[in-house]
Amino acid sequence: MERSVFSNRSDDDHALLPPSIGWDWHYTAALLAASIIIYATLSLLRSSKSYDSLPVANKLFPFEPSFFSRIRWALWAQQIIRDADKKAQGRPYKLARGDSELVILPARLIPELNRYGVDVLDSRKSHAFTLLGHLTGMEVVEHTSYHVRMLQGSITPALPELLHSMAKRISGALKEEFPQSDQWTIMKPLPASVRCFSEGIALVLYGSKMVENPRLVELTYTLTRNVFVVAFAMRCVPSCLNRYLAWLLPAKWRMHQDWKALSDFVIPEVQRRKTMILEGKEEHSPDLITWMVQSGRTELERDPQVLATLCGSVAAGSTYSIANFVCRALSDLTSNPEVLKAVRTEILAKNTEIGGRWDTAALADLPCLESAMKETARLAPGTLIVYSRAVKQDCVIGGVPLKKGQFMTVSGPGRAMDPNIYEDPTTYKGLRFCADDKIKEHSVKPFRSVDTDILTWGAGKWACPGRYIADMAAKILLIQLIDAYEFSFVGGVPLKHDAIHEFLFFHPDNKMQVRRRKDAVGISL
Ligand code: HEM
């Protein structure tokens, strides 16, 4: 009997096998059916293990693969949360985000939530999870809040001292990045604003000497951009694959280079400042590195690599957030010329009153600008879900059982668009907070304060620790832009905000027209 050169089986052996066993569609169909049954059973078992009976948003049927929730959330988060809030009518529900099922609690429970410590509801773990810390190089924020403590306890009180040096850097960048012509010029406001704020943030992070290095300032925004590209793209991919697929992204490689470059700047500087302290030659400089070097108590807080990573993570949380906010505020003011006029009149009057000598008290005394900023933040917050926490211990909040390992959060629009709190909530009313009957109530709740109705900064002990910096930096840019420029939309078409996952943003490619105002007084802070 002749044998195939490729096989050592005889033809008789083949005769014993069922014909074309590998490709028979019956077997394929049986395999598929078995997989579906196993998957459905596992899904049902998983959902039967659920400890609550909360309705689930963004899931079409109980055993829908989570990949579909992921993609829908990445593309249509605004619509999903709006519909879910409407259906829930202030009751808790769950949101299938694809990476996990988040329990969405109503904002009225925030006072009760605030009573729990980080051992029960952990913001750090939640931030690291949301921004894929293991892929973006920011995993360390899960283990320490040293940078948060320094921002709250050292940088914020030093802001009056930082005002003029920050204003100088932002104003210098403004002249470079915004057109100087009095003819209408088309430009992209987001990248221009990002560069302005990177100057201010780099000053806060590294101090007045290091900020002179343009590459370090550039890293403040390129690292941020790459971190977010990696996080946004990989949030669309099942968790088990993202560790590998991330390497297909050019942004991931660029991000690695940026982290390395940042460490090369920061680590020697940390060592230098440590040596100065040992030699009793401590320098006074109100910046994050100086304070972190001076105050580190634990091994982690003294580790130069950790300090470099914490600086990078603060940059990631700040530059684009402020720039997005300011561009949305400008776009809202451009759509509402009567509000812009009131804000401009107020700024010019204040400038005259103080003889052009701006300080933090003057910045805090602009009720029309405050109101316009609050209204922009109310309608287009940086993120649709706020107060996100990882549950570290079983607990019951507002009658809802939360289990260790779950994530909980609060819907921002659910509160900020509530018609019981805001009249005509979907309409932009830039001066709503400084109207005669509201000004008293709102003067004690300025833009920078934690306001559990608008939730711009989250709430509680772990609300945004950079809000005072953001408020000051945003006002420095807005005041100068509003004095010096007129704005209009290209083709007269107003700009909308974009969203990816829960993040709302002003698209970097959005264009606006600007021209210098002939009667600008040239405010300089
Ligand atoms: C308009 C600009 C900004 C907005 C809308 C914003 C908003 C937020 C929100 C909603 C949170 C989460 C709070 C929570 O979990 O309850 C947060 C966290 C944070 N923000 Fe901001 N932020 C802005 C600017 C800044 C700036 C300028 C800095 C620093 C200079 C900063 C640093 C941080 C940090 C470090 C955290 C994490 C806090 C933690 O781990 O607990 N942010 N921010």
Q: With a 6 A CB cut-off, is 321 part of the ligand 1 pocket?
A: yes
Q: How far is the CA of 458 from the centre of ligand 1 (A)?
A: 8
Rounded CA gap, 525 and 417, in Å?
35
Dihedral (CA of 310, 315, 316, 321) sign = positive
In a domain, 448, yes or no: yes
Determine if ligand 1 sits within 6 Å of the CB of residue 123: yes
Could you report the per-residue pLDDT of 135-184, keeping only the tens digit for each?
999 999 999 999 999 999 999 999 999 999 999 999 999 999 999 999 99
Burial of residue 471 (CB within 10 Å: 0-12, 13-18, 19+) is: buried
Do 185 and 215 have their domain in common?
A: yes
Query: Do the domain assignments include residue 521?
Result: no
Q: What is the mean pLDDT of the segment spanning 107-123?
A: 96
Tokens of 471: 């408020």
Contact 171 CB / ligand 1 (< 6 Å): no
Whether the pLDDT of residue 32 is over 80: the answer is: no
Residue 18 belongs to some domain of the structure: no
Cα–Cα distances (Å) from 68 to 58, 59, 130, 376, in that order, read 9, 8, 18, 32
Asked if residue 5 is part of any domain, the answer here is no
One domain for residues 311 and 441: yes
Q: Quote the CA–CA distance of 244 and 246 in Å, as a whole number.
A: 5
Task: Quote the CA–CA distance of 140 and 305 in Å, as a whole number.
Answer: 10
Host domain of residue 63:
51-130+384-411
Same domain, 466 and 504: yes
Looking at the fold, whether 258 and 126 belong to one and the same domain comes out as no
Number of structural domains, the chain? 2
247-273: per-residue pLDDT in tens? 999 999 999 999 999 999 999 999 999
Q: In terms of domains, do 121 and 268 share one?
A: no
- Checking if the pLDDT of 10 tops 70, the result is no
Q: At what angle do helices 159-177 and 189-210 cross, to 10 degrees?
A: 130
Provide the CATH number for the domain around residue 467: 1.10.630.10
Calculate the average pLDDT of the chain: 92
- Look at residue 524 and tell me if it is in a domain: no
Answer yes or no: do 285 and 345 share one domain.
yes
Position 376 in a domain: yes
Q: Which ligand 1 atom is at minimum distance from the Cα of 457?
A: 10
Percent of the chain with pLDDT over 70: 92
Q: Based on the fold, state whether residues 258 and 407 are members of the same structural domain.
A: no
- Looking at the fold, whether 183 and 201 belong to one and the same domain comes out as yes
Give yes or no: residues 122 and 147 share one domain: no
CA of 428 to the centre of ligand 1 (A): 24
pTM, full prediction: 0.90
User: In ligand 1, which atom is closest to the CA atom of 455?
Assistant: 10
Average pLDDT over residues 51-66: 90
CB-based contact 524:480 (threshold 8 Å): yes
Task: Report phi then psi at 524, rounded to 5.
Answer: -130, 135
Tens digit of pLDDT for each residue in 359-412? 999 999 999 999 999 999 999 999 999 999 999 999 999 999 999 999 999 999
User: pLDDT for 425-472, tens place per residue?
Assistant: 999 999 999 999 999 988 899 999 999 999 999 999 999 999 999 999
Asked if the model's pLDDT at residue 16 lies above 50, the reply is no
- In-domain check, residue 140: yes
For residue 187, the SS3 value is: strand
